[in-house]
Amino acid sequence: TTQEDPHWATPLSSFQGFEMIKILNDHPKNKSVFVHGKFRGHEEEAVVILEKTPFSEETLPFALSGETKLKVGLKNDIYGNYHGTPPAQVNGIKVSVVYPATPKHLVKYSQQQTYLVQETGDDYRNITLPFLQAEAFRIQWVYNILEHKQESERIVFEDPDKETGFILLPDMKWDLKQVNDLYLIAIVHKHGIKSLRDLTAEHLPLLHNILKKGQEAIQEKFSIPPCKLRIYLHYQPSYYHLHVHFTHLNFDAPGTGVERAHLLSDVIEHLEIMPDYYSKKTLAFCLRENDQLLAEFRKAGRVPQKSE
């Protein structure tokens, strides 16, 4: 880093000096935790996400070796439970740091009450769209990827066409160590398609192209056939530049629930049946207590007031 770079531009080499403020959220089932904190001597706040890594073919031989000490908890006939202490190779964790984190990041990563909202086409135009336009969410990082300024070495496949092209790359949540939790994202080159809501029949060539070439690239690079893939869009998405998720069918990835995921094959068929389907259809999604958009739906009387 040069003299002009802010201190937080330097990658961390450990959590030296980290001071925990609060656990924002905890997913014991996934073995992950979201923490709000600071680094001693600095004003900026940070969100740190820790997640244990899955076992892999690489690490299993270490986990199942004489180096893993076992302390028996319970032994009954053929069944035994133990606490194991495996060697270092098994114990890596995945760490994501947002630093400096804005109040919005703190909200995003906190656990909150959730509500199912039924957004009609009119709700979108009267409530959601004006809100998105006023917020002008930061998507510079998406353009950095599309312009090969960032993460270009991670690109799995690219179709450079300006209208129907896209970049396919691993999602941040996938470490590429095993295909069981394969997770890739196709980001479209075309700017200005915010979400599902903007899609019309004119985007069918783009959507067909993503489906076909995305499947082919994944078959070729990772030997996973189309019938083992779940290919879908999120509504609401986490950023408003059109992108498509590819996950392994066996992987119960976050955001694959019926209240957020829309299969790309369904999206295509709906647009074929009814070119303006996504501007008219009522779409259900979850909003959390601190989402600004929930406040907008409340103001409009479309979600009940806060209850306890």
> Could you list the active site residues?
243
Residue 281 found at the interface with a copy of itself (CB under 8 A): yes
- The answer to whether 214 touches 231, Cβ cutoff 8 Å, is yes
> Which run of H or E residues covers position 23?
strand 18-27
Segment contacting a copy of itself by CB under 8 A, of 54-62, 158-166, 187-195, 203-211: 54-62
254 backbone dihedrals φ, ψ, rounded to 5°: -65, 145
3-class state of residue 91 by DSSP: coil
Residue 263: CB minimum distance to a copy of itself, A: 6
| Number of residues counted as binding a copy of itself (CB under 8 A) | 113
User: Of 58, 135, 202, 266, which lies in the binding site for a copy of itself, with binding defined by CB under 8 A?
Assistant: 266
User: Of 21, 93, 155, 300, which lies in the binding site for a copy of itself, with binding defined by CB under 8 A?
Assistant: 93
CA 249-255-257 angle, 5° bins: 75
Segment contacting a copy of itself by CB under 8 A, of 123-131, 189-197, 211-219, 281-289: 281-289
C-alpha pair distances (Å), 283 with each of 59, 124, 225, 230, 235: 43, 9, 30, 20, 8
Q: Which residues of 70-84 are buried (b: 16+ CB within 10 A; e: fewer)?
A: eeeeeeeeeeeeeee
- Strand 32-39 vs strand 18-27: parallel, antiparallel, or unpaired? antiparallel
Residue 26 found at the interface with a copy of itself (CB under 8 A): yes
Segment contacting a copy of itself by CB under 8 A, of 18-26, 126-134, 191-199, 202-210: 18-26
User: Of 23, 133, 148, 292, which lies in the binding site for a copy of itself, with binding defined by CB under 8 A?
Assistant: 23
Residue 100 found at the interface with a copy of itself (CB under 8 A): yes
Interface with a copy of itself in residues 144-163 (CB under 8 A): 144, 150-151, 154
Residue 249: CB minimum distance to a copy of itself, A: 6
What's the residue count for the chain? Answer: 308
Q: Which residue type, as a one-letter code, is found at position 250?
A: N
Residue 32 found at the interface with a copy of itself (CB under 8 A): yes
CA 261-264-268 angle, 5° bins: 130
How many whole angstroms separate alpha carbon 206 and alpha carbon 302?
A: 34
Interface with a copy of itself in residues 162-191 (CB under 8 A): 172, 178, 180-181
- The answer to whether 198 touches 132, Cβ cutoff 8 Å, is no
Residue 225 found at the interface with a copy of itself (CB under 8 A): yes
Residue 53 found at the interface with a copy of itself (CB under 8 A): yes
The contact mask relative to a copy of itself for 106-135 (x = CB under 8 A, - = no) is: -----x--xxxxx-----------------
Residue 273 found at the interface with a copy of itself (CB under 8 A): yes
The contact mask relative to a copy of itself for 229-258 (x = CB under 8 A, - = no) is: xx-x----------------xxxxx--xxx
- The answer to whether 251 touches 194, Cβ cutoff 8 Å, is no
Q: Taking every pair of C-alpha atoms in the chain, what is the biggest distance, in angstroms?
A: 66
Segment contacting a copy of itself by CB under 8 A, of 32-40, 129-137, 197-205, 211-219: 32-40
